C-alpha cells in the first residue's frame, strides 16, 4: 500500500460517522497539550542545548561491503548493558546481509559488549544521550559518510524485540517492493507516515537532497511527542512529496483480517493494538517493547502467541530484559 501525503482513499470508510465525540475531544486536547508541553520544554531547555558529545567511535572487526545495505542501529539502556535481545537482533540483521553501524546513547559500552559488537558491526559509536534516535541516526550518517556507497540504508532501533521469524529475505522483499521508502508498519496519527523503528531507504532516497535536507535540520529535541510529530511524521511527509512510500504490513490489510473496530483508524497503533494478529496471522517479525511496558502483557501470554504462530523465538533471550530497569 502506498502511503502518501494525502490519506488513502479506502481507509476513511473505517472511520464510522457515529464514532463517539470523545475521539474528537481527545484530538483537540492532545493538540493543546502538545502546544503547551512543547512551548514549556523549548523555553526551559533552550539554554542547555548543545551538540551531543561522541564518547567513542571505532571500527568493528568486519570490513564494509558496499554491495550490501548498511543499517544504522540506535540503542539505549539505562544500565549501559547491550541486552541479549539486542545482540540477537543485530546477529539476524548481519545474517540477512546488512553491514551494521551500532549507535549507543547509553552512558558507556562495556568491554564485553564491545567485543561482541565488533563481531557483527563495521562501526561502533557511543554518544551522549540527547535527541533520541533521529539525532543518533544523524550523528551516524555524519560519522560514517561512506553510507552513500552502500546498496541500501536501513534506519532501525531497539524499541522492538525479535526478529520472531527469519528475516533473511528482508532485502529481497524491500528490493522487490516498488516503493522507494519501505517501512514495516504505518500510522495515521497526525498524518500518514511510516513508523520509524524500521525504515529501509533505497539508494535514490538517501542520495537525494531531500534526505540530506531532512537530517541537516534534525536537532536535539527531548520531548518525545515532538520527535514523533516533527521527525517521524515529518520524514514521511518530506520524502513522500517525491518518493513512493510503502509499509510491508499496511494497516488496511491487517484491519481487514483482524476485524478491529474499537477506535478510529488514525488512533490505531498496529504494533500495540493489533500485536496478536500481526504475529499469528501475518508472521510479523517484531514485538514492540511497549506491549510489555504499557500493556503489561505477561511473558506467558507472549509465549502462547508465539507458539500459535509457529515462531521459534527463544523467550530466554528476554531473561535480562523482561523486567525493564527503572
User: 123 lies in which domain range?
Assistant: 2-6+22-318
pLDDT at 49: 64
pLDDT at 326 over 90: no
Q: Is residue 15 part of a domain?
A: no
In a domain, 30, yes or no: yes
Is 16 within a domain?
A: no
In this structure, are residues 133 and 220 in contact, taking their beta carbons and an 8 Å threshold?
no
Describe the strand order of the beta sheet including 2-3 as a list of residue ranges.
2-3, 245-247, 181-183, 198-202, 152-157, 70-75, 99-104, 123-127, 54-59
- Measured at the CA of 240, the angle between CA 99 and CA 236, to 5 degrees, comes to 60
How do residues 191-240 score in pLDDT, each as one tens digit? Answer: 999 999 999 999 999 999 999 999 999 999 888 888 999 999 999 999 99
Under 8 Å between Cβ of 302 and 313: no
Lowest mean pLDDT among 8-17, 81-90, 258-267: 8-17
Q: Which residue has the higher pLDDT, 61 or 1?
A: 61
Domain-located, residue 14:
no
Tell me if the bond preceding 163 is cis, omega within 30° of 0.
yes
Between helices 209-216 and 132-143, what is the axis angle to 10°? 120
Give the mean model confidence (pLDDT) for residues 36-53.
Answer: 67
**For range 146-164, the mean pLDDT:** 97
Classify residue 326: in a domain, yes or no: no
Short-list 315, 249, 247, 246, CA closest to 281 = 249
Residue 279 has pLDDT above 70, yes or no: yes
Assess if residue 17 is contained within a domain.
no
Q: Report how far residue 302's alpha carbon sits from residue 311's, in angstroms, rounded to the nearest whole number.
A: 11
Counting the structural domains of the chain, the total is 1
Mean pLDDT, to the nearest integer, of 85-96?
Answer: 97
Determine the pLDDT at residue 42.
65
What count of residues does the chain have? 326
Q: What is the CATH number of the domain that holds 145?
A: 3.90.550
Report strand pairing: 70-75 vs 193-194. Answer: unpaired
d(CA 94, CA 110) in angstroms, rounded, equals 21
The set of cell numbers assigned to 241 is: 512529496
Please state the pTM of the whole predicted model: 0.90
pLDDT tens digits along 159-193: 999 999 999 888 888 889 999 999 999 999 999 99
Q: Render pLDDT for 289-300 as a digit per residue (tens, 0 to 9).
A: 999 999 989 999
**Residue 323 maps to a domain:** no
Considering the domain boundaries, does residue 256 fall inside one?
yes
Q: Which residues contact 15 (CB under 8 A, 6 or more apart)?
A: 264, 265, 266
Amino acid at each position: 500500500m502506498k502511503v502518501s501525503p494525502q490519506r488513502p482513499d479506502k481507509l476513511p470508510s473505517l472511520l464510522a460517522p457515529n464514532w463517539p465525540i470523545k475521539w474528537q475531544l481527545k484530538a483537540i486536547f492532545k493538540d493543546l497539550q502538545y502546544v503547551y508541553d512543547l512551548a514549556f520544554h523549548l523555553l526551559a531547555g533552550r539554554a542547555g542545548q548543545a551538540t551531543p558529545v561522541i564518547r567513542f567511535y571505532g571500527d568493528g572487526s568486519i570490513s564494509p561491503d558496499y554491495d550490501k545495505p548498511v543499517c544504522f542501529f540506535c540503542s539505549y539502556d539505562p544500565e549501559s548493558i547491550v541486552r541479549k535481545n539486542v545482540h540477537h537482533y543485530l546477529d539476524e540483521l548481519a545474517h540477512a546481509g546488512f553491514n551494521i553501524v551500532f549507535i549507543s546513547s547509553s552512558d558507556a559500552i562495556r568491554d564485553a559488549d564491545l567485543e561482541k559488537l565488533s563481531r557483527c558491526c563495521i562501526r561502533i559509536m557511543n554518544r551522549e544521550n540527547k535527541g533520541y534516535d533521529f539525532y543518533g541516526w544523524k550523528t551516524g550518517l555524519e560519522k560514517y559518510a561512506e553510507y552513500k556507497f552502500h546498496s541500501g540504508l536501513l534506519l532501525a532501533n531497539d524499541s522492538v524485540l525479535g526478529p520472531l521469524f527469519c528475516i533473511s529475505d528482508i532485502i529481497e522483499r524491500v528490493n522487490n517492493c516498488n516503493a522507494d521508502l519501505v517501512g514495516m508498519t504505518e500510522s495515521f496519527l497526525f498524518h500518514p507516515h511510516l513508523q520509524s523503528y524500521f525504515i529501509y531507504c533505497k539508494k535514490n532516497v538517501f542520495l537525494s537532497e531531500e534526505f540530506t535536507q531532512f537530517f541537516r535540520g534534525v536537532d536535539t529535541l527531548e520531548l518525545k511527542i515532538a520527535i514523533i510529530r516533527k521527525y517521524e511524521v515529518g520524514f514521511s511527509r518530506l520524502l513522500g512529496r517525491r518518493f513512493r512510500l510503502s509499509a510491508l504490513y499496511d494497516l488496511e490489510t491487517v484491519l481487514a483480517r483482524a476485524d478491529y473496530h474499537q477506535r478510529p483508524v488514525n488512533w490505531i497503533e498496529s504494533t500495540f493494538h493489533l500485536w496478536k494478529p500481526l504475529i499469528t496471522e501475518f508472521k510479523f517479525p517484531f514485538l514492540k517493547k511497549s506491549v510489555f511496558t504499557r500493556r503489561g502483557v505477561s511473558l506467558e501470554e507472549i509465549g502462547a502467541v508465539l507458539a500459535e504462530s509457529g515462531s521459534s523465538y527463544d523467550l530466554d533471550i528476554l531473561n535480562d530484559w523482561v523486567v525493564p530497569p527503572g
